[in-house]
Each structure stands twice: as structure tokens, then as C-alpha cells.
Structure 1
């Protein structure tokens, strides 16, 4: 026979009904043992002709008999208490479940909600990936701009290092570096037109 976990009852009462029954059983059993010890003492006082060993043997046999009867009765009592007292009727709702009563949803509604959640999670992951890509692109643009500034500073310093250049010399320098500047500028423009992060 499968054991009913009685999850709703546990949530309702704040304890498991099976644990409650176990504690009641242990309390009754402890009380039975205490009574048998007291009865044994009384018998020893009143029956002086009997030895302590005889009395102990008799009380242990009687205790076994009582415990067997008690266990059988307790099984019946446990079934009745779990079914009648410690069970929550289907009409009773916990306060946190009242919203389900006011706003019932079918399995189809739940399935649609799950699909919406999955769709939104997919969009979130896509936006997160796009954000990461844009951040990486921004880092590349920063590196390209830094390289462009370095090249421009180098060109500015080139004229200072060789004195004032002549027109022919300046033209040859410009021709040498124009290709390089054009590619760097086109790269920066291309990456800038892709959109930046705010």
C-alpha cells in the first residue's frame, strides 16, 4: 500500500500528520511502560511471597500482551485520525491558494504561459548576446581610434623631426601614408555605422 505524503495537510497544519501520529504513539507507549513499572512495584510490595524475578517475568509477559493489543488498536486509530481529523477536505483552501479559485486557469492557459516564458527567455538571451557583441565592437572601435590618434601624432611629429619639409617630400610622405590612413578611416567609419552602445 503506497504511503500518502499528505502534502496539502502538511502545508495546512504546519506539521506532517504522520509525525503527529508517531508522537502520539510514542507518548502512549511511554505511558504504558511507566504504568507497568508502577504496577510491578505495587505487586512486589503486596506479594511478599513472590520473587522479583517471577514478578518481572510476569509483568514483561503482560507488557508484551498489552503492547500487541495497543499496536492493533493504534493502527485503527491512526487510520481514523488521518482520514477524519488530520485530513483537509477538498473544499478547504489555504490563503495562498485563494487566487487560483478566483482566477482558474486551464492546462491550455498554462501551456500558453509556458510558451510565452520560453519566447521571452529566448528574446532576452538574444538581446544579451547582441549587447555583448556591441560591447566587443565598442572595444575594437576604441582600439582603432587610439591607433588613428597615434598615427596622426606620428605624422605631426614627422614634420617637426625633419624640419620643415618641402612640397615634394611632403607629397611622398602623404602618398606613403594615405593608403594606411584611408584603410584605418574606412574601418572606423564602417564600425561606427554599425551602431554603438550608449
Structure 2
């Protein structure tokens, strides 16, 4: 008999596979002893019925014990192979089999992973919305730059003081407009996120 603790199989079946194999081994031996005892009785009865037979009970018993030793040696060799086959093919579980108590842990793991996925999805949406806002701001800044270049072409080269005043006024107006539009878009984005 091998000593290989199959703990997972023990939990699944409710008994150790080695115990099951040992019980099969003992049952075979018990059956062999019962059969040999019955054969011995039949041989003694038949030998007693034969005239001039010199078989004694001691001779029959020693022959029975010798035959039993022979059978046990053969059976032990055969049983080692049978035990390996039973433990490998019948009493072993595939790695994908789950115990009933593992379903709760697996369910919790799935829920945790789903929550993480939802959080990452929300963060991705927020980052994409922020990227869109930044693209819009960049486009507006390009327009302002283009407008400033055009302003210099129309009015000629202005003086430093005039240019500073003009730029400050224009930048203040544009920044107010951009901040108002950005706040409106963020509020619209938040309301979309809360709805989904």
C-alpha cells in the first residue's frame, strides 16, 4: 500500500482513497481465506470418501497454507498495479474539480474582480473625458494664437504698451469663456457618468 495523502480527494469523496483501496484489499483477502477454507473442507470430505487414501488433515492444511502463500504473493503483486490504477483513474480528481466550500471563495473573488473592473472602467472614462477637454482647450489656444497673428497683420506692428493691454483684455475674456464652457462640459460629463 502506498502512503500518498490525497487530501483534495479525501475532502471531495468524504473518505481517503487509500482507505477505500485498503478495504478492497482486505475484502479480497477475506474472500480468498473463505474460499480456501471451503476448498479444504471439500478436499477432506472427498479424501475421506476414497478407500485407501492416506491424506491426513495436517497434510491438507499444509498444502492449503502453501497454496494460500502462493496466491497471496501473486495477489499482492497484482494489487500494487490495481492500486495504482484505482488511485490514478478512479479515485483521483481532475485539477478543475471544485469542492463545495470553494464556491463561496470563488464567488467572492469574482465579485472583487468585477468591482475592480468597474472602477478601472470608470477611471478610463474619466481620463478619456479629460483628454477630450484638453483637446478642445488646445484647439481654442491655437485659434487665439492664429487670431493674434492675424491681429498683427491687420493693425500693423503695435507698440508694446498697446499690445500688452490688448492681449490682457482678450486673454481675460477668452479665459472666462473657456472656463465657463469647461465647467459646463464637466457637469455634463458627470451627469452622464451618474446615469450609466
Question: Residue by residue, what CA displacement relative to the aligned partner does 1:29-77 show, whole Å, maximum 9, x if unpaired?
Answer: 0110000000000000112311111111111100000011111111110
Q: What is the aligned counterpart of 1:57 among 59, 62, 68?
A: 62
SS at match of 1:93: coil
Q: What is the aligned counterpart of 1:81 among 83, 86, 90?
A: 86
Moved over 4 A (4+): none
Q: Number of residue pairs matched? A: 105
SS at match of 1:47: helix
TM-score (norm 2): 0.50
Cα drift, residue 5 of structure 1: 0.7
Q: Which residue of 2 aligns with 1:5?
A: 5
Supply the distance in 2 between the matched residues of 1:46 and 1:87 (Cα, whole angstroms): 48
Supply the distance in 1 between the matched residues of 2:11 and 2:86 (Cα, whole angstroms): 17
- Paired residues for 1:148-167 under 5 Å: none
SS at match of 2:35: helix
Supply the distance in 2 between the matched residues of 1:101 and 1:43 (Cα, whole angstroms): 64
Supply the distance in 2 between the matched residues of 1:40 and 1:52 (Cα, whole angstroms): 9
- Paired residues for 1:66-145 under 5 Å: 66-102=71-107, 103=109
Q: Which residue of 2 aligns with 1:29?
A: 29
Task: Name structure 2 gaps, 5 residues minimum.
Answer: 113-196
Cα drift, residue 83 of structure 1: 0.7
TM-score (norm 1): 0.50
Q: Which residue of 2 aligns with 1:38?
A: 38
> In the alignment, does 2:47 pair up with 1:47?
yes
Task: Name structure 1 gaps, 5 residues minimum.
Answer: 106-198
RCO greater where, 1 or 2, for CA within 8 Å and sep 6 or more?
Answer: 1
Cα drift, residue 100 of structure 1: 4.1
